[in-house]
Chains A and B, each alone.
Chain A
Amino acid sequence: MANRIARAGGALVLVSALALSACSTGASTDGGTDAAACAPSDGPVTLSFTTWLPGMEDAVAIWNEANPDIQVEVQTGPNGNGGTYNNFFNQIEAGNAPDLGQIEYDALPNFRVQDGVVNIADCAGVLDAQDQFIDWTWSQVTFGEENAVYAVPQDTGPEGLFYRADLFENAGIAIPTTWAEFEEAAKAVRAEGGYITNFSQSDINAFAGLVWQADGQWFKNDGEAWDVTLDSPESIMVAEYWQNLIDQDLVAVLPPWTDEWNNGYNSGDVWSWVSAVWGANTITSGAPDTAGNWAVAQMPQWNEGESAAGNWGGSSTAVLKGSEHPYEAAQFALWLNTDPEALSSMNKTANIYPATKTGGDLPAFSEGLDFYGGQNIYDVFAAAGAEVNPNFTWGPTMTQTYTDVADGFSAAISGSGTLSEALTNGQQKTIDAMKAAAIAVNE
């Protein structure tokens, strides 16, 4: 007890000393980016953590309770491409980024190429944690390199087909298991006055998930230069499939993540959504009037009898450049994404599915959800997760790629051009943007 008080007193002195040194050294914290410099700080530290997961405060409260010397403050922002990444880039440039940030796998290369994330491989316990994580998530955060870890995997986004069980049943339409059946079902749903799904013209990462399922690739990095293959045969095949549905007016084209879009699902105009596991939360909050009527099935297949799955999203927790406490930040990131209590809490508030191998065994994932008619939807996503191609590579300027392809998709929806043309244009614009940023790229 006395020891504890003495420690607290000493800590207080240290805090003031730290605060003073923080003032005097200013922004010269480049040392934090050097992996070799990952040593514990003296005394208590406070870490800032920016995320957009709803309810992250609950998980962090568990940590703060157990770790009085490493307190974490949560800041919430809009989702990554909705503004948080932009803020991170500006904060990194200004030298006042938070210690920890939520970064999706697709954005990690962008942050690395901007020198915005810290290599935490030398922080105690980080390399040893590899075995706990699903292999493909680990290769996303290490870029397949030795002695490099740029973030700790948090969750994955294996995809499934969310559908309105009641509407399909009443109309006597079978749940499609292949993309060919999906088109037939789309015609039947349209005859009923609804739309089978909405084509998300600006969710290019969702489209990437569909390409991922079809075994396509958009980028390749051989260490010397990047290859950009947005217009790969698989990619064009997926684009032509959806273009066909759009041309026949078989899918809604509501701008995603808007009230109009929520209304489409809430009012029963739109019957299904090919989305990732975390989409369960989106439907619950966006279409509250449809509670109990949803169910989840495996996403439609290109070839009958297969069980290929795409992945949409999935985040990691990265230590951002400029953090003065990379050691503590890494410890928190490891705990947040491996501790059963933390994982259960994040699943409860945000429906995320952990990136750890054993995460799916947690009791939280063996329960049925009332919103989904009591179905244990995680069974479907766990099966999908095992089928996700582990070798999908993201490019170093994804923000730009997404924006340019989204512009092209939107134009196609408005009737000028096609989805395939948007990909071809996006291909060229991505190459141009990489050249403008002096990133080596093969034409």
Chain B
Amino acid sequence: MNDILLYSLIVLGVLGGILAVILYIVAQKFKVEENPLIDEVESNLSGANCGGCGFAGCRAFAEACVKSAADKNSLAGLNCTSSDMSKVAAVLGLTVTAEEPKIAVVRCSGTCENAPKKTHYEGADICAFAHTLFAGGSGCPNACLGLGDCVKKCAFDAIHVDPVLGIAVVDEDKCVGCGTCTKACPRGIIEIRPKGKNNRRIYVSCVNVEKGAITMKNCKVGCIGCQKCLKECPFEAIEMRGTLAYINPDKCKQCRKCVDVCPRGSILAVNFPPRKPKVEVKEEVNNESKE
């Protein structure tokens, strides 16, 4: 009995030793030389492999960063979130001019209150499927279906379907603007826009291209293409896409004139401080001049 135990120990031990030596030799012979910087750069990235940078995952992006730093001594053309880029630049001993941060914007305000559901959907919880099946609960063929294809695709847990509102809502702190959700949405509702100065943004929260009369039946806040904002804008930042207004974020100076003039409340101004009523402002000015 003891013999068997002993023999097997010896045989396996010797075998293990020989194989270990072979493995060591092979590992030495076929060793891949890799820049240790790549690992360091990668550890500074989020590791979500969102693909927003255009590379196949964070590792590939780190490799590209190290290569670019060695060849061109710059990180031009390589984009991740601004905080991550500054970290990467520090590791590589470079400086980056901060790209304007971007964020995903859900261009639909068809909440349960604004666009009441006329029909009840039961079935597979896939927006892409429901989109082929019917126009949507409110009847608007461009509205957020609220089944969460974008939620499933988001690697940063930054977008959720609000159970009360019934539409997708972006978490401003978590969103990095990678654009995965824009591809997931079958109706093209989500857009990547610059985060804006002080996190303030103005956008048309609607992508509906139907005629005004039909839109009015379906939704309280849908864009009807009245062009009032177009006429009001002093910076020519608004363009009409059929019966839908679109605000060009590069031209918009955030004056909020379009928000005031919109009869439907389709244009949203986010993170602005509440305005003082106009009358009061005038009075103050008058008082000052009197004094």
Question: Is this pair of chains taken from one and the same complex?
Answer: no
Query: What is the interface of chain A, defined by CB distance below 8 A to chain B?
Result: none
